Structure 1
Amino acid sequence: MQNKRATLDCDLLLKEFHVREVPVLQTEKLAFTGVGSRDVYNITAPFTDEGTILLAGRVESRDSESSDVMFFAQQEQVWAPKHELPVFHLQDPFITRVGGELIMGGVQTYPNPEDENRLMWRTVLYRGQRVSELRPFFTGPDGMKDLRLVELEDGGIGVFTRPQGIKGGRGKIGFARTASLEELTMELIAEAPLLEEQFTDAEWGGVNEAQMLSNGLIGVLGHIARFDEGNNRHYYPMIFVLDPDTGWYSDIELIAVRNNFLPGPAKREDLHNVVFSGGLVRNPDGTAVLYAGISDAEAHTMTIPDPFQRFEALTRKNENT
């Protein structure tokens, strides 16, 4: 494994991305029904629940930030709500499995006690054997999005955090380990060391999904973001890998930009260049399908060469060598 380089900002990452010329093999705009005039975006990758393939999505009116997380099943070429399943008043859902249990999380918003005109947010986690049995079991720190879990090879749990403020600035990624869901605590999250030199102070990022690779590395799908001079937001899907035993992690790499996807509307003009990673499905043929929210208004997919495949050829170093 090579040592990391100095921090790369969005401009440098974009230059590297265009030099690599990552081929886009297929693009698709997902169609949804049963939600009225509301948009569905910031989706998860599909997962199986009681024999049915589902995905979760953020359902929201174009002129509102009040969001529900709903579960959809595909009917021919359209995704329709599973009305018998619960609806959660959350934003930006994510799905994983730990110890055979389904783990679902999302962002809960609530009134800011210091400013009545603004909202605060936190990550809420649910667990259960199936979607119909999901129950809350952990509420993350106030002001923290992008809290993510991944089950490790040894049965432990990797915890990705994203503090802001004194410790994390606009938002930086931290990582810690815990032995079980019962031992996930606010103290562990607060003390999780940051992955240094991933973001400049003017930019921010977070983890959207984490999955184990065949050699024990964690494949991380996330985003890196910034404002431009006109206060427009720019979000880019990115990946890196992390060794949970040694703490080593690779450089961030972009895997897509907005222009790779099909044209479509934006929730607001300042959100046009937003691609929010939802999940990555790795295929046996060496391709991968990225599920993403586009411009805070739509859900798209894009098929690309599997960005994690080459990392599975790396030989992990022993922590003591």
Structure 2
Amino acid sequence: MIIKKTRAETAGQLLSKFYDEPRITKVEKLVFAGVGGRDVYNITAPFHYDGEDVIMGRVEERDSEFSQVFFFTQSADRVWSPRAHTHTYNLQDPCVTCIKGELVVGGVEVMTAADNPHRIISWATQFYRGTHIDSLCHFSSGPRNMKDIRLIELADGRIGVFTRPQGSRGGRGQIGFTIIESLDDLNEQAFRDAKILQDQFVAEEWGGANEAHLLRNGLIGVLGHIACFDEESNKHYYSCTFALNPLTCEKTAMKIIAVRGDFPVGPGKRPDLEDVIFSGGLVRLPGGRAMLSVGVSDAEAYRIEIPDPFNEYE
């Protein structure tokens, strides 16, 4: 496909386009057991391992941000329970991919103040790899205060790396991209080398990549989010997609594919997080459909069947 140069659009502009194109959806709330009554949200898409579907999810008390990441499997009654004899991680917001036959999982580790173990002062993304889900080894740490680092094996065997710099380089949060030769090269230099994608977000808003898909034409289909504050400092997060040419960093315009209003009214962690969905992962289905996994209002986990957002990029 030919990628045309685009200018950044606000979340409001993208929302107007989203609502102008009604679509047929099917929504399912995920039910969890075995976590002591804690919330499970910000789930990954299911991945197949050892003959069964597995998801990772953020498990957390409603009044806390100190979480664990569990691996879950589903029973015949459609309830998700912790996978037997599988390690949990003291992380937030898990992600998962497969690179050169290895399972690669990640999540955000929080750091607390020396004088107050209840106050989070920074965070870093941690990565683990291995051929067996029960024996993953830590191999890389992201830069301090950087979330939304995502990896993908490209058509030529190299590895694409999405980053999310903030501050002097990225403002409230931009998307960066670079290519490395192997997982052994996922280091501080790689994160510094990532090129910020231009005209992605206006200065007052932010976003990040949540999952990457290699498309049939060699482009990367990116599942991500766009976010903003309103006048009362409430957060608004929307699921979005775009396509990226990994060789030139040319990209398509973003489009919103799901919003909080797609899901039933339910509990939230805090009032300012009511209009938040977290893009956890997407599975492409036959017939031009896709299943999107999301966390909702930092308290629940849902899946929603939607039109495949990557079809137009191929």
TM-score range, shorter chain: over 0.9
Aligned to 1:92: 93
- Stretches of structure 2 lacking an aligned partner (at least 5 in a row): none
Residue 63 of structure 1, CA deviation = 0.6
Q: Give the 3 Å change call, closer, same or farther, for CA 170–113 of structure 1 in structure 2.
A: farther
Which amino acid counterpart does residue 128 of structure 1 have in structure 2?
G
Which of 147, 151, 155 does residue 153 from structure 1 map onto?
A: 155
Query: What is the CA–CA distance in structure 2 between the aligned matches of 1:114 and 1:7, rounded to whole Å?
Result: 42
Matches within 5 A, 1:1-321: 1-21=2-22, 23-75=23-75, 76-112=77-113, 117-312=119-314
Deviations along 1:202-238, whole A, 9 cap, x unmatched?
1110000001011111010000111111111100000
Q: TM-score, normalising length from structure 1?
A: 0.94
Aligned to 1:316: none
1:80 is paired with a residue whose SS is strand
Query: What is the CA–CA distance in structure 1 between the aligned matches of 2:312 and 2:260, rounded to whole Å?
Result: 24
Query: What is the CA–CA distance in structure 2 between the aligned matches of 1:307 and 1:297, rounded to whole Å?
Result: 26
Q: Give the 3 Å change call, closer, same or farther, for CA 285–114 of structure 1 in structure 2.
A: farther
Query: What is the CA–CA distance in structure 1 between the aligned matches of 2:280 and 2:64, rounded to whole Å?
Result: 21
Supply the RMSD in Å over aligned alpha carbons: 1.4
For the Cα contact (< 8 Å) 1:28–1:262, is it kept in 2? Answer: no
For the Cα contact (< 8 Å) 1:29–1:262, is it kept in 2? Answer: no
Q: Give the 3 Å change call, closer, same or farther, for CA 251–114 of structure 1 in structure 2.
A: farther
1:163 is paired with a residue whose SS is coil
Which amino acid counterpart does residue 9 of structure 2 have in structure 1?
L
1:14 is paired with a residue whose SS is helix
1:273 is paired with a residue whose SS is coil
Deviations along 1:16-47, whole A, 9 cap, x unmatched?
111122x1320011000011120000000001
For the Cα contact (< 8 Å) 1:24–1:302, is it kept in 2? Answer: no
Deviations along 1:27-74, whole A, 9 cap, x unmatched?
011000011120000000001122221100000000111100001100
- Stretches of structure 1 lacking an aligned partner (at least 5 in a row): 313-321
Q: Give the 3 Å change call, closer, same or farther, for CA 86–115 of structure 1 in structure 2.
A: closer
Deviations along 1:235-275, whole A, 9 cap, x unmatched?
00000010112221111100011111122111111100001
1:187 is paired with a residue whose SS is helix
Residue 183 of structure 1, CA deviation = 1.4
2:292 is paired with a residue whose SS is strand
Count of residue pairs the alignment pairs up: 311
Query: What is the CA–CA distance in structure 1 between the aligned matches of 2:5 and 2:28, rounded to whole Å?
Result: 34
Q: Give the 3 Å change call, closer, same or farther, for CA 114–2 of structure 1 in structure 2.
A: farther
- Range that drifts further, 110-119 or 291-300: 110-119
1:255 is paired with a residue whose SS is strand
Which amino acid counterpart does residue 81 of structure 1 have in structure 2?
P
- Range that drifts further, 45-54 or 112-121: 112-121
Residue 113 of structure 1, CA deviation = 6.9
Query: What is the CA–CA distance in structure 2 between the aligned matches of 1:232 and 1:25, rounded to whole Å?
Result: 27
For the Cα contact (< 8 Å) 1:237–1:276, is it kept in 2? Answer: yes
Residue 169 of structure 1, CA deviation = 0.6
1:120 is paired with a residue whose SS is strand
Q: Give the 3 Å change call, closer, same or farther, for CA 114–209 of structure 1 in structure 2.
A: farther
Deviations along 1:263-307, whole A, 9 cap, x unmatched?
211111110000100000000221000000000000001101101
Q: Give the 3 Å change call, closer, same or farther, for CA 114–179 of structure 1 in structure 2.
A: farther
For the Cα contact (< 8 Å) 1:49–1:130, is it kept in 2? Answer: no
Q: Give the 3 Å change call, closer, same or farther, for CA 78–202 of structure 1 in structure 2.
A: same
Query: What is the CA–CA distance in structure 2 between the aligned matches of 1:250 and 1:257, rounded to whole Å?
Result: 20
Query: What is the CA–CA distance in structure 2 between the aligned matches of 1:90 and 1:16, rounded to whole Å?
Result: 35
